[in-house]
């Protein structure tokens, strides 16, 4: 299980069911009748008119745990509620190259199409069960938060498909396994940021606005992803080519490592108990984890590859990036070295 840590505020629990924005997304997804054939989008990956799929064997246990509120990403499934929410998310992701790419990764998962489950929770945000193709979203969250979370969790599925799993890489050392988890989380959040930016530029800012919202963040900026999107945006604004050459994405990746308390949470989760993790002071007060082994960096080379853009934003020398101390950015805490 790869958890996505973000503290859920009580006000979010007031938002349940199918939101107004979901209905809006469904309306927006309907193609205009007068659209020329050559200009129409590719065949949708979600087909609401297909025969309903039953829960496959590897999903049954999860479906029972989440009261059956699960639906396949290719649609539909037994739950009408889950079908509506998954179709709404698909209709938005299909609108940009990155969104369609990551949904296609889920639609062609080797055990069959991935499934998305929904469950109310006071402290869970979103997570992905490695090896199952099952994603879980907090049903109490507003639609914008779901949009912000889905490319992150789907990136974890793509990481799995590309072999970035501790056992597949031969990692037996616990420090290497932890460092792999941290790098995958930073990459997933970077991919999400780039996808949400792409959606915003296409006229769909809800996910970006949710991701970029500092009003739900603690004063120390811990347990919040707004600093990542703000860093990405600042780099993109300073250099228009930063999107296409990977500089903005690389800055977002390094910014993830500046949240020391967030990494401490992942470390404590990784080791399975509270006592093992190092307890860092608040964000911005010291440099983050480093990766001591060059062999580790070689093993994760290619982690930052973005297929629709045709580049690896981390480049060939991952060790150089991972070993360089990550400090909080000048947006919040003064001058920061370039990524």
Please indicate, yes or no, if residue 44 is contained in any of the structural domains: no
Question: What per-residue confidence (pLDDT) applies to 118?
Answer: 96
Question: What per-residue confidence (pLDDT) applies to 315?
Answer: 85
Please indicate, yes or no, if residue 244 is contained in any of the structural domains: yes
Residues of the chain with pLDDT under 50: 5-38, 220, 273-277, 279-281, 283-287, 331-339
Residue found under tokens 């949009």: 147
Residue where a domain stops, chosen among 115, 142, 162: 162
Q: Which domain holds residue 226?
A: 172-338
Please indicate, yes or no, if residue 317 is contained in any of the structural domains: yes
pLDDT tens-digit readout, 50-87? 999 999 999 999 999 999 999 999 999 999 999 999 99
Same domain, 221 and 332: yes
3-state secondary structure at position 118: strand
Please indicate, yes or no, if residue 4 is contained in any of the structural domains: no
Please indicate, yes or no, if residue 43 is contained in any of the structural domains: no
Q: Is 131 left (phi over 0), alpha (psi -120 to 50) or beta?
A: left
Taking the CA of residue 223 as centre, how many other CA atoms within 13 Å lie in the half-sphere pointing to its CB?
17
Contact between 88 and 143 under an 8 Å Cβ cutoff? The reply is yes
Predicted TM-score (pTM) of the model is 0.83
The tokens for 200 are 């915003």
Contact between 80 and 133 under an 8 Å Cβ cutoff? The reply is no
Same domain, 224 and 158: no
pLDDT tens-digit readout, 277-299? 454 445 444 445 556 677 888 88
Please indicate, yes or no, if residue 28 is contained in any of the structural domains: no
What sign has the CA pseudo-torsion 35, 308, 213, 126? positive
Residue where a domain stops, chosen among 162, 184, 202: 162
Phi, psi of 312 (to 5 degrees): -105, 105
Question: What per-residue confidence (pLDDT) applies to 174?
Answer: 83
Question: What per-residue confidence (pLDDT) applies to 1?
Answer: 52
Same domain, 130 and 190: no
Same domain, 180 and 321: yes
Cis-peptide, bond into residue 40, ω within 30° of zero: no
C-alpha distances (whole Å) from 17 to each of 44, 80, 161 are: 25, 11, 32
Tell me the pLDDT of the chain averaged across its residues. Answer: 80
∠ Cα 47 50 51 (to 5°): 150
Residue where a domain stops, chosen among 103, 128, 162: 162
Same domain, 185 and 320: yes
> What is the C-alpha to C-alpha distance for residues 216 and 82, in angstroms, rounded to an integer?
27
* Total tally of structural domains belonging to the chain: 2
Please indicate, yes or no, if residue 296 is contained in any of the structural domains: yes
Same domain, 119 and 235: no
CB pairs under 8 A, 24+ apart, for 25-28?
Answer: 25/88, 25/89, 25/91, 25/92, 25/143, 26/84, 26/87, 26/88, 26/91, 28/91, 28/92, 28/204
Same domain, 290 and 179: yes
Same domain, 128 and 248: no
∠ Cα 18 20 22 (to 5°): 60
Same domain, 121 and 208: no
3-state secondary structure at position 127: strand
Question: What per-residue confidence (pLDDT) applies to 35?
Answer: 46
Same domain, 118 and 263: no
Closest to 77 measured CA to CA, from 54, 110, 98? 54
3 state SS for 242-265: HCCCCHHHHHHHHHHCCCHHHHHH
> What is the C-alpha to C-alpha distance for residues 120 and 198, in angstroms, rounded to an integer?
29
Same domain, 232 and 271: yes
Same domain, 330 and 181: yes
Question: What per-residue confidence (pLDDT) applies to 187?
Answer: 96
- Residue 1, judged by CB atoms within 10 A of its CB (0-12, 13-18, 19+), counts as exposed
Question: What per-residue confidence (pLDDT) applies to 225?
Answer: 85
How many residues are present in the chain?
A: 339
Please indicate, yes or no, if residue 56 is contained in any of the structural domains: yes
pLDDT cut 90: percent of the chain above it: 50
Residue found under tokens 């920061």: 336
Residue found under tokens 């031969």: 170
């Amino acid at each position: 299980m790869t958890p996505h840590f973000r503290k859920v505020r009580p006000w979010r629990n007031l938002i349940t069911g199918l939101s107004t924005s979901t209905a809006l997304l469904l309306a927006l997804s309907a193609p205009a009748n007068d659209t020329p054939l050559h200009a129409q989008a590719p065949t949708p990956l979600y087909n609401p008119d297909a025969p309903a799929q039953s829960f496959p064997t590897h999903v049954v246990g999860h479906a029972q745990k989440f009261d059956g509120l699960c639906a396949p990403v290719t649609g539909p499934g037994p739950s009408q509620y889950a079908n509506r929410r998954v179709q709404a998310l698909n209709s938005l992701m299909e609108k940009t190259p990155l969104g369609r790419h990551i949904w296609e990764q889920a639609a062609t998962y080797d055990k069959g199409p991935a499934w998305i489950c929904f469950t109310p929770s006071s402290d869970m945000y979103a997570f992905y069960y490695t090896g199952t193709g099952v994603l879980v979203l907090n049903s109490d969250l507003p639609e914008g938060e779901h949009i912000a979370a889905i490319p992150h969790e789907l990136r974890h599925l793509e990481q799995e498909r590309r072999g970035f799993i501790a056992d597949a890489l031969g990692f037996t050392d616990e420090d290497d396994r932890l460092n792999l988890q941290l790098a995958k989380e930073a990459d997933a959040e970077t991919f999400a940021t780039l996808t949400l930016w792409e959606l915003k530029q296409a006229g769909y800012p809800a996910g970006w606005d949710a991701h970029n919202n500092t009003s739900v963040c603690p004063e120390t900026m811990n347990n919040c992803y707004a600093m990542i999107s703000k860093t990405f945006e600042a780099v993109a604004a300073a250099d228009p080519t930063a999107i296409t050459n990977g500089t903005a994405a690389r800055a977002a990746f390094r910014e993830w490592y500046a949240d020391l308390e967030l990494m401490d949470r992942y470390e404590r989760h990784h080791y399975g108990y509270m006592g093992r993790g190092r307890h860092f002071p608040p964000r911005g007060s010291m440099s983050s984890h480093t990766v001591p082994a060059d062999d580790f960096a070689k093993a994760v080379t290619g982690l930052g590859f973005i297929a629709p853009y045709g580049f690896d934003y981390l480049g060939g020398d991952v060790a150089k990036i991972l070993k360089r101390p990550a400090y909080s950015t000048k947006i919040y805490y003064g001058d920061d070295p370039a990524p």
